[in-house]
Amino acid sequence: MQWLLSLILTAFMFASTAAYAVVVLAVAWFLPYSTCYEVVRVWARMQLGAARLLCGLDYVVEGAEHIPPGAHISMWRHSSAWETVAQMLIFPPQAWVLKREILWIPVIGWATRLMRPIAIDRSAHRAAVSQVIEQGQRRLAEGIWVLLYPEGTRVPVGERRRYGISGAALGVAAGCQIVPVAHNAGRYWARRGLLKRRGTIRVVIGPPVDCAGRDAREVIEEVRAWIDGKTAELGG
């Protein structure tokens, strides 16, 4: 039964995402960015509500008091599709750092472009870092957070990968803070699996890491140590 419910949830997500992309394309031309983001948040609530109703998959957030006022950077453990939805509800509006190929997807990619992401060519390593720094500083100056998955791709439960430097470099250049986020979503919503298991995902938000006046490599190592350590505690 859980497999069938997972299949129904997946079909619902694909259909509703396409429909909502059309809505975003329709309203983004005359509504401000903040309002469009609230429209997308309705979509996110719908997805997580469907996951709870159909598959018995819920979540709890710990450490929300660590989210500082103003615009900063959030760095998330990336192990499933779940956190790409949940982050919209847990944090203030964020500009997502993502691979540029996502913007090429008809309708969905076009709508994503209107949400002001930072779309990078991951094969152009140095240019990609410069792009994150340049565009990221503009987003932060406008009061928009920047979201990065420092591993660059979804990583299966139990595995660890090298963290990219671009988020830390942006933090140093902007003199802002990085808020690390760990979770165990991969245990319930596998990286490339159809099955969504019943249970409660734990999301833990860590203390902000100051970047001003520091070396980017030192910053990213501090962030990596916290996220990897906390993820291991959560069994993710």
How far apart CA 16 and CA 55 sit, in angstroms, is: 17
pLDDT digits (tens, 9 = 90+) for 48-92: 999 999 999 999 999 999 999 999 999 999 999 999 999 999 999
pLDDT digits (tens, 9 = 90+) for 167-205: 999 999 999 999 999 999 999 998 777 889 999 999 999
How far apart CA 199 and CA 180 sit, in angstroms, is: 23
Instruction: Give how many domains the chain has, as a whole number.
Output: 1
Range of the domain at 227: 2-234
How far apart CA 15 and CA 2 sit, in angstroms, is: 20
pTM of the model: 0.92
What CATH number did the domain enclosing 122 receive? 3.40.1130
Question: Which 3 state secondary structure label does DSSP give 174?
Answer: helix
How many Cα atoms sit within 13 Å of 166 on the Cβ side? 29
